[in-house]
Amino acid sequence: MTDHRLLGRTGVKVSPLALGTMMFGARGNTDHDDSVRIIHRALDSGINFVDTADVYSAGESETIVGKALAGGRRDGVVLATKFHGSLGSDPNEQGNSRRWIIREVENSLRRLGTDWIDLYQVHRPEPETDFDETLGALSDLVHQGKIRYIGTSTFEPSAIVEGQWIAERRGRERVVTEQPPYSLLARGIEREVLPIAQQYGLGVLSWSPLAGGWLSGRYRKGADQPTSSRIDRQAERFDIADPENAAKLDAAEALAQLAEEAGLTLVQLALAFVLEHPAVTSAIIGPRTFEQLESQLGADRVRLSADVLDRIDKIVPPGTNLSARDAGYVPPALSDPRLRRRPRV
C-alpha cells in the first residue's frame, strides 16, 4: 500500500484503496465467515478505509463489517456508511429527513457494533427535502459524538455548492467528502464535480472504478459474455445490442489492449487511472471473492505515464460518460416529464 492520503481537509489519513462492502451479504457473497476473511485480508494489506451502506443487502453488509471489526480492529479503521435508500414498507423508512436520520444512525451503529461512525454519508440527493434539515440533523449527530464527519454521494455540482453555502450561512457542520462514480468509461465528473471538490477542499471517494465489471478484463470483443448476479439484476446495462453498451465494449477492448502494451492488467490500469486525478482521495474497490480482491491490491502503486494517459484520453475523451446510466443519479427535472410541462387547463 502506498502512502496514505489526506481525506480532504479533515486531517484524517486514509489508504488510496478503500474497501467497499456492497457485495457482502445476500447481494453477493452470502458466506459471512468468508466475507470477514476477505475484509481481514484487505486490512492486513494496508487498507484502513472501509465503506458500506445501510441498504447493502438490507443491513446485512453492515452486520458483516461489524463482525470483521470486532476483537480490536475497529480503532484502526476509518469507517464510512450511508443512509437514504428504502429499508421497509413504511414511506418514512427512507430518505434524508431528520426523522429518518436520527432513527437510522442508531440502527447502523448497532449493526456495525460500534459507538461512532467516522463518515456518515447522504447516499443520494432528495430535492423535496430541505438540505438544511438534513445537515441540521447530521450536525447534531456530530455534536453528540455519534458521527465524526458528513459526506455526500452522487450529488450534482449545484447541490455540492449548496451544502457548503448552508454550512457557512446557517452554522451547520460542513460536508467534507463526495462519493461519485468515476472510471475510464464514466468520466463525466471531470467537468465540474472534481474541480468543485478541489475548490472546497473535499475528499473524493470514487465508486465503481471498474465500471460495474466492464473493466474487470472479462468483457472482450469476440468472447462469450460472462454471467454474474449483477448481469441478472441489471441486464439492460450489459445488453450489447444497446448502442451505449456497444460503445463501452469497444472502449473496454481498446483499453485492455493498451493495458497489455503497458505491461498491466486492465484492472490495474483502471484503478491507477482513477487514483491519478489530483482530486481523488481513494478508489472504492468492491470485491466479492478473494481472487477479485487480490487482483486489485497493489494497483495504488502503479503510476501511468503521460503517454498512456494521453492514449486513454483518445479512447474515452475527458468529461465523457459513454452511458448516461453511469452517472448514478437522474435529477427529477429530467426523470419526471411533469416538471417540464405546463399543466393543462
**Digits of tens for pLDDT over the chain (345 positions)?**
558 999 999 999 999 999 999 999 999 999 999 999 999 999 999 999 999 999 999 999 999 999 999 999 999 999 999 999 999 999 999 999 999 999 999 999 999 999 999 999 999 999 999 999 999 999 999 999 999 999 999 999 999 999 999 999 999 999 999 999 999 999 999 999 999 999 999 999 999 999 999 999 988 876 767 666 666 567 778 888 899 999 999 999 999 999 999 999 999 999 999 999 999 999 999 999 999 999 999 999 999 999 999 999 999 999 999 999 999 999 999 999 999 999 888
Distance CA 216, CA 229 (A): 15
Is 0.85 surpassed by the pTM of this model? yes
Instruction: Write out the catalytic residue numbers.
Output: 56
| Cβ 170 vs Cβ 132: under 8 Å | yes
Name the residue with cell 469507517: 79
Beta strand segments in 209-332, E = 282-285
The grid coordinates of residue 212 equal: 460495474
Name the residue with cell 399543466: 343
Q: Which pLDDT does position 102 carry in this prediction?
A: 98
Distance CA 195, CA 189 (A): 9
